[in-house]
Structures are given as C-alpha cells and as structure tokens.
Amino acid sequence: MSAEMKARRVRKAVLPVAGLGTRVLPATKAIPKEMLPVFDRPAIQYVVDEALAAGIEHFIFVTGRNKNAIEDYFDRAYELEDTLRQKNKTALLAELDSFALPPGATSFVRQQAPLGLGHAVWCARDIVGDEPFAVLLPDMLTMAAPGCPKSCLEQMMEHYGYVGGNLIAVEPTDAPWNYGVIAPESHEGRRIKMAGMVEKPPKGTEPSNLFITGRYILQPEIFALLESQGKGAGGEIQLTDSMVRLMQTQDFHAVAYDGRSYDCGDKIGYLNAVAAFSLANPEHREAAAQTLSAALEKARR
C-alpha cells in the first residue's frame, strides 16, 4: 500500500437504505426500517452519529421507493420548530438542532431495483468519486464497550491511519456458520490482516468466529468491480463478491472493534437494541432498567 493511499482521508459515507425490511414486517409496511425508533430516536440517527464522531463530512443515502421519510427526517421541520418556539420549548428545539446536519452534507440517490448491497453501493459511485469511503449498514447498530470512548467507525479510522487500504469491522460470534466471516492471516492487537472471507461457511469449516458487522472502509477501485460483478447469493449483486476480487490486488484488514452490534433488521435483534440503547441512555437508564426488570418479573408470573 502506497503512502499516498494511506494518507487519503475518509470524508464520505454511503448508507444503503433501500431495503424493504421484510424481516420486521408488518412494522415496515409503511415505515422505513431505518426509521423505526430505538428508544428515543430512529435507528438511522445512531448510525449518522457514529459516522459524525468518526469525522465523516458527507452522507450519501441510497434510497428506494417509499423512503421519503428518511429525507424528510434530515430536512428542517419549520412548522414543528415554529410551534415549539411559540410554546417556549427551548430544550426540545435545542435537541432537534443537535441532530441537524450542515447544509450540503447529504445526498440522496435512488436504487431503482432491489439488486443487492453491491448494486446499492455502486449507485453512489459518482458522488463518492475517486476517494476512499465508508459504508455503514443502517440496520446494524453498534455500541462501544463500557469505558471505550470511541465508536466502531472511530476505532476503524484510527487503524486506517496506520494501514490505509480496505478495512472491515468484525465481532466474535458463537454461530459463525450463520454469517460472513473472515479468514485471518496475521494479528496485531485488534487489527487483523485478512487472507480471505467466506459467506456462511458449512458448520465445522469456519476459518474464524469473526463475523462482518456492517462497517466498511473501501477504496474507490471497488466500483469498477461492482460494475462488472455478476449476481451472487440470493440472485443479487453482493458487495462481498467484489471485495474478494479486490483482495487479489489490495490488502484487506479487519478491526475487532471494542463493542457490540445489534441487528435491527431482525425482530429479536431490534428488541435487543431497544433494551441496550435505553439502558445506555444517561438520562433514562435507571428508569429503563426498572421498567425492563418489572416487565420481566411480570412475564415470569
């Protein structure tokens, strides 16, 4: 990896939000899965906050039909703000303002057919341009471990400063055969040089127990590979397939980040996320713990 490639800063993030959310129907029949509330805010807000903390300056949302609520959410709500102002609800106004992104910090591009994650990322090619970029899957929420001050993407950025190139975030799992997992070549602390990756390996053949959690830093050469990528698993254009091809010419590293991910595209994963983020909320954690404990106690009777 050249020094020039190592030095290229990651300023843009692609957020694929065109998925139908079929695993959490009927909740997502009329509401984008990314807008489902996780305690006190939509899931996608946590993802954007994670990226902002890591220094991302421009957000590229790859949307689909019936996803207008996402674009509206990141726009100003003048009527609501005026009503709050007239009622002197300054604290709520300040909270809304803290979620606002700077003018020009968002782009929205339409994925006109559900052709897979790889195709969704490819749809952002002209906005990303010839520079490295992050990909964050908005139905995967990450939470840093207690005592760790840096988000998942922040931790990745720190390692990117050392190795440049392509990075993915990984996490241990007890069931690696259910996920895409990496094949490690060598370890240096939490950073792992990769020899390969395998999608849902047969039980007993897993090269590791480290699964890919939905956070990536990729070099722009991936776009040419995505353009020529044939359909893979599920009859869709898979990002992983092009990553495997890119690995033939560029290094890939994984970061076993200090934290945990929550799959909000799954009903039980979503429930876990709501519980975890309510307990992590500084203002409401005590009341949330009491409420959850009371609900469990009642369910056991």
Domain boundaries in the chain? 3-265
Contacts of 73-77 with C-beta under 8 Å, sequence gap 24+, read: 73/35, 73/42, 73/44, 74/48, 74/101, 74/106, 76/100
R_g of the chain, CA atoms, integer Å: 20
Query: What is the model's pTM?
Result: 0.90
Domain 3-265 has CATH 3.90.1170.50: no
Across the chain, the runs of DSSP E, i.e. the strands, are: 12-16, 37-38, 41-42, 58-63, 106-110, 133-136, 140-144, 166-172, 180-188, 191-199, 210-218, 252-256, 259-263
pLDDT of residue 60: 97
pLDDT of residue 159: 93
Q: What is the C-alpha to C-alpha distance for residues 71 and 75, in angstroms, rounded to an integer?
A: 6
Q: What is the C-alpha to C-alpha distance for residues 179 and 210, in angstroms, rounded to an integer?
A: 9
Q: What is the C-alpha to C-alpha distance for residues 216 and 153, in angstroms, rounded to an integer?
A: 8
Averaged pLDDT in 10-residue chunks for the chain of 301 residues: 58 92 82 90 95 95 88 87 88 85 91 87 95 95 92 95 92 88 90 89 89 94 91 80 92 94 91 94 92 90 79
Q: What is the C-alpha to C-alpha distance for residues 225 and 198, in angstroms, rounded to an integer?
A: 18
